[in-house]
Amino acid sequence: MNYPVWDVSFGIGILMAIVSVTHVFVSHFAVGGGLFLVLTERKAYRENDQTLLEWLIRHTKFFVLVTVVFGAVSGVGIWFTIGLIHPSGTSSLIHSYVWGWAIEWVFFFLEITAALLYLYGWKKMDRALHEKIGWIYFGAAFMSMVIINGIITFMLTPGKWIQTHAFWDGFFNPTYWPSLFIRFIFALALAGIYALITGTWQKDEALKGTVVKWSARWVIPAFVVLPLVAWWYIHSVPAHVWASAAGKMPTATRYANIIVIFSIITFVLSLITLLKPRKIPFVYSLVIVATAFMTMWGFEFVREAIRKPYIIYDYMYGNSVFKEAVPGSAGMDVASLDANGVLKVAKWIRPESREITEENQLSVGREIFRVECQSCHTVDGYRSIRKIVNKKKWGFSSIYSRLGLLDKMFNGVMPPFAGTEKEKTALALYLASLSTVQETEEAAVAPKISGKEVFEQHCSDCHEAAPDDPLFEFMKQYDVAKISYFITRLDSLNEEMPPYEGSEDAREILAKWIHEQFK
Amino acid sequence: MGNLPLIPAADPMPLPAPLWLFKVLLLVTFLLHIIVMNFLLGGGVIAIVARWRGAKDEKFARLSRDLSKKIPSLLAATITLGVAPLLFLQVLYGQLFYTSSVIMAWPWFMVVVILTIAYYGYYLVAFKDQKNNAAVLGWVLIGSVFLTFLVGFIYTNNLTLMLTPEKWGKIYFQDPSGWNLNLTEGMLLPRYLHFMVASLAIGAFLLILSGLYRWKRDVENARFLIQYGGKWFMYSTMVQFLVGIWFLIALPKEKMMIFMGENLLATIAMLAGILLALAAIFVMSGALRKEDPRKGAITAMSLIGVVLVLMVIMRDALRDAYLAPYFKLSDLAVKTQFGVLLLFLVLFVGGILVWIWMMKKYFFGAQAAALKE
């Protein structure tokens, strides 16, 4: 809208996912692993275990190569990537939290320096100094998490910031503390999990046994505490936001299930290492790494999924449209776009597309798709809109009516369409041009269609087949004939509902099916 | 609206501190970044050359080994010190910078990938260099240095594209997929070379600094380092005069004029920069003929330190001259966040003190001193 859209056919979201999930899996190790290094160093000296110390020196090298190189570069990489795929959101985060980022940078700088000195200092420093550098490393790494956690949680639950726009109101927001604990505990678990990688690589079985047992002491308690903190986190997220992950929306729910399943697997696999710690093969550690990765991936994805349709909750939508006007938002809020038109307000519209004519409707529709929809959808790649309109068998009128209730569909994961009626028509025409369904077909009957299929086609964008859904709660008191009658009058039952557009036969089938559900 | 440049609106959030503070932080952190970046690039090139000469002369082989071991840490420092100016750049010029980045999104994104590959290449050379794999690792080093120079080239593309909003619409609407660079820009090549040749000159200081650090332990090696580094500095600075002139005349006339009297500060900075750089060459050349070149070398480096400050000021003046038709920084609203600003300043100063303490302990600590003997 304000910025050009990076038009990537396969979908920029995937790029973001790859960069960010691999980064967090390393950056949390960078925090927990710092504590692990110092405490293992102390343990080795205390128990006078020379082989453990020598392993730790090798492990430090591994730690630096993973965190200082990949961790730091991919962290900068996230910043590069969000700037490319969501400049408006990035700009908001930078402008609201410059001093947060600047403070984080101070710690980042200390962190990187201390990590390198800790590595090179094994040979050059005396014990006490070396350990001090290790503590500085851990302190700085931990503090950088303390800062960034405030900004990430702000995006999901900005709290009072929405009214005040004050730094600390957004920083210490409702999910700040539970999120910090989840991240820190996970970081401790990862310290043990990464240590298993270099630990199980060792040939010396006694050493391997020592490292595996010591690592398990980091992983197992963490996974015992995690469910409690997760419970706290869930309860800090406003109920209507969390609803997406609790069965109301397939993607978020799926990721929530992934967390549960893979954290249990990781926990059990870690317990098993204690049976024969000296015999754990290297591959086994990689399996644990993979299951822990899935857990982390699930967590970050749930967070991203339940934040929809916003990039910053209640402030800016995923497609960079402001929820409400703020001073300086340059007319890029929903109400102003509805009144003035996206073609007039958006910056990056081709000059010839500023006015809609008979001839250019389709190409203008394509442009509106780019500025309003392409932050999440693609034509043929990720969340392909062509696939969706064809799977749902939508033609122009179905699409047009649905554009009017985007924010109601799928438990509200999409922002509303913002723009004039003419623009909505142009977009609907463009989307309909991707559909193989003809207007006449749309209303025609498929002879053996089931009630469930009719429901999927006409109702499931906003309703789910569940007893507590308003549709079923309302209809259950009536008989088939009455239900069928109500279906003809949907828009008068609730003005937000589009009229039923299917055939009469299909309507009868649907009415019968609804009547039979949840008796 | 049709043919006007498409400049996004500035972010609605006001600046959380006065403009001058951001400008100072931007320029100071950029200066620090550019110095270590020069060490990295120049050090990389010198490491390659010294490696090649090292086949016949052991002192070059040793120099190359020494440099190769330092490079990964220099890259770490370059990235870390690069984060701050990139942050302040986005605060002040975000709406321009994000736009040019999106227009050339793929090359810009590839910076991250290229840097990761180069980084691991440097570590491979630093950790695994042995006689039996010397040839392969020589190529790895060349590859990594090449990739690092490539990153610089992508940066120059983006930061020049950012200054020319009038070109954006045409490039973007021709290809919105992000496969663009700014190759038609007249100042692109001389500007890039101006930075890269500077890297050779400043990178040579890495050798001189090592020489100074080693002087008391190993005079002969230290003298070689200062001599050899001094030569790199002098020859590349001479080339730099030519590149600098090319850069200046490649600018559009009205931009060139800011250094010709139109902007007093920029004009003085350029004249003083030229004179001081000339002086530095003379001082260095005098020092290299002496038994103990240390004093002259330090003087020359200090003069160049001042030149670098002047260059950063000139670069900033040029940027604001380019943007003048479109955008004035002073139009940005300001609402200072005093509490957290104070917290930043305290932590910044504290962080610097802790950093100095760590470096001092590492390089000049008791045990380090004992090891020297």
**In this predicted structure, what is the pLDDT of residue B2?**
43
Does B369 map to a domain? no
Q: 10 Å Cβ neighbour count for A203?
A: 6
Q: Which residue of A has its CA nearest to B175?
A: A7
Q: Do residues B213 and B324 share a domain?
A: yes
Chain B CB contacts of A120 under 8 Å are: 362
**In this predicted structure, what is the pLDDT of residue A363?**
95
User: Roughly what angle, to the nearest 10 degrees, separates helices A250-273 and A205-236?
Assistant: 150
**Residue A437 — very low, low, confident or very high, per pLDDT cuts 50/70/90?**
confident
Q: Do residues B299 and B207 share a domain?
A: yes
Q: Do residues B150 and B197 share a domain?
A: no
Q: Do residues B136 and B195 share a domain?
A: no
Specify the higher pLDDT residue, A469 or A336.
A336
State the average pLDDT over residues A239-250.
80
**Chain A nearest C-alpha distance from B264 (Å):** 32
Specify the higher pLDDT residue, B117 or A457.
B117
Domain A340-442 fold: Cytochrome Bc1 Complex; Chain D, domain 2 (1.10.760)
Average pLDDT, chain B: 95
Which token pair is B271? Answer: 């004249």
Does B345 map to a domain? no
**In this predicted structure, what is the pLDDT of residue B88?**
98
Contact flag A4-B176 (C-beta cutoff 8 Å): yes
* Most B-contacting residue of A70, A96, A99, A124 (CB-CB within 10 A), to test interface: A99
φ/ψ of A441, rounded to 5, equals: -65, -35
**In this predicted structure, what is the pLDDT of residue B73?**
97
Say if A2 is an interface residue toward chain B (CB within 8 Å).
yes
Say if A87 is an interface residue toward chain B (CB within 8 Å).
yes
State the average pLDDT over residues A45-58.
97
Q: Do residues B78 and B97 share a domain?
A: yes
Say if A107 is an interface residue toward chain B (CB within 8 Å).
yes
CA A394/CA B201 separation, integer angstroms: 66
Which token pair is A69? Answer: 């190189």
Q: Which residue of B has its CA nearest to A331?
A: B9
User: A285: helix, coil or strand?
Assistant: helix
- The CA–CA distances, whole Å, from A53 to A40, A201, A273, A300 equal 8, 15, 22, 35
Q: Do residues B232 and B317 share a domain?
A: yes
Q: 10 Å Cβ neighbour count for B193?
A: 18
Chain A CB contacts of B354 under 8 Å are: 110, 136
A501 pLDDT more than 90: no
B147 pLDDT more than 50: yes
**In this predicted structure, what is the pLDDT of residue B1?**
40
Q: How do residues B16-67 score in pLDDT, each as one tens digit? A: 999 999 999 999 999 999 999 999 999 999 999 999 999 999 999 999 999 9
**Chain B nearest C-alpha distance from A107 (Å):** 7
Does B342 map to a domain? no
CA A440/CA A515 separation, integer angstroms: 28
Does B356 map to a domain? no
State the average pLDDT over residues B297-324.
97
State the average pLDDT over residues A501-509.
84
**String of DSSP letters for B340-364:** HHHHHHHHHHHHHHHHHHHHHHHHH
Closest to B325 in 3D by CA, of B103, B110, B166: B166
B151-190 burial, b at 16+ Cβ within 10 Å, e below that, comes to bbebbbbbbbbbbbbebbbebbbeebebebbbeebebbbb
Q: How do residues A319-364 score in pLDDT, each as one tens digit? A: 999 999 999 999 999 999 999 999 999 999 999 999 999 999 999 9
**Chain A nearest C-alpha distance from B234 (Å):** 32
- The answer to whether B202 and B35 have CB atoms below 8 angstroms apart is yes
State the average pLDDT over residues A153-174.
96
**In this predicted structure, what is the pLDDT of residue B130?**
76
Helices then strands, counting H and E runs in chain A, come out as 24, 2
Residue B84 lies in domain: 13-185
Compute the radius of gyration of chain A from its Cα atoms.
27
Say if A57 is an interface residue toward chain B (CB within 8 Å).
no
**String of DSSP letters for B89-137:** HHHHHHHHHHHHHHHTHHHHHHHHHHHHHHHHHHHHHHHH--GGGHHHH
Q: Do residues B206 and B327 share a domain?
A: yes
Does B357 map to a domain? no
Contact flag B13-A95 (C-beta cutoff 8 Å): yes
Contact flag A83-B115 (C-beta cutoff 8 Å): no
Q: How many structural domains does chain B have?
A: 2
Q: How do residues A251-299 score in pLDDT, each as one tens digit? A: 888 899 999 999 999 999 999 999 999 999 999 999 999 999 999 999 9
Contact flag B354-A136 (C-beta cutoff 8 Å): yes
Say if A58 is an interface residue toward chain B (CB within 8 Å).
no
Q: Do residues B178 and B202 share a domain?
A: no
Closest to B213 in 3D by CA, of B42, B77, B362: B362
Chain A CB contacts of B91 under 8 Å are: 94-95, 98
Which token pair is A36? Answer: 């692990």
Q: Do residues B199 and B254 share a domain?
A: yes
According to CATH, what is the number of the domain A445-516? 1.10.760
Average pLDDT, chain A: 92
End-to-end CA distance of chain A: 48
* Most A-contacting residue of B78, B337, B372 (CB-CB within 10 A), to test interface: B337
Q: Do residues B203 and B324 share a domain?
A: yes
Q: Do residues B137 and B286 share a domain?
A: no
**Judged by CB atoms within 8 Å, which residues 280-319 of B form the interface with A?**
none
A473 pLDDT more than 50: yes
**Chain A nearest C-alpha distance from B309 (Å):** 22
CA A409 to chain centre: 19
**Chain A nearest C-alpha distance from B240 (Å):** 31
Contact flag B109-A107 (C-beta cutoff 8 Å): no
Q: How many CB pairs under 8 A join A and B?
A: 210
Compute the radius of gyration of chain B from its Cα atoms.
22
**In this predicted structure, what is the pLDDT of residue A447?**
55
Say if A124 is an interface residue toward chain B (CB within 8 Å).
yes
- The CA–CA distances, whole Å, from B179 to A163, B69, B110, B147, B173 equal 40, 36, 11, 19, 12
The tokens 């060349």 sit on which residue?
B142
Alpha-carbon dihedral sign for residues B290, B291, B293, B295: negative
Q: How do residues B201-258 score in pLDDT, each as one tens digit? A: 999 999 999 999 999 999 999 999 999 999 999 999 999 999 999 999 999 999 999 9
**In this predicted structure, what is the pLDDT of residue B371?**
57
Do the domains spanning A340-442 and A445-516 agree at the CATH topology level?
Answer: yes
Closest to B190 in 3D by CA, of B138, B154, B254, B242: B242
State the average pLDDT over residues B298-323.
97
Chain B CB contacts of A103 under 8 Å are: 340, 343-344, 347
Domain C-terminal end among B185, B215, B232: B185
Q: Do residues B295 and B251 share a domain?
A: yes
Say if B127 is an interface residue toward chain A (CB within 8 Å).
yes
Q: Where are the domains of chain A?
A: 12-222, 340-442, 445-516
**In this predicted structure, what is the pLDDT of residue A490?**
86
Which token pair is A341? Answer: 């038109």
Q: How do residues B81-111 score in pLDDT, each as one tens digit? A: 999 999 999 999 999 999 999 999 999 999 9
Q: Which residue of A has its CA nearest to B112?
A: A77
B293 pLDDT more than 50: yes
Which token pair is A369? Answer: 């798709």
ipTM of the complex: 0.95
**In this predicted structure, what is the pLDDT of residue A446?**
53
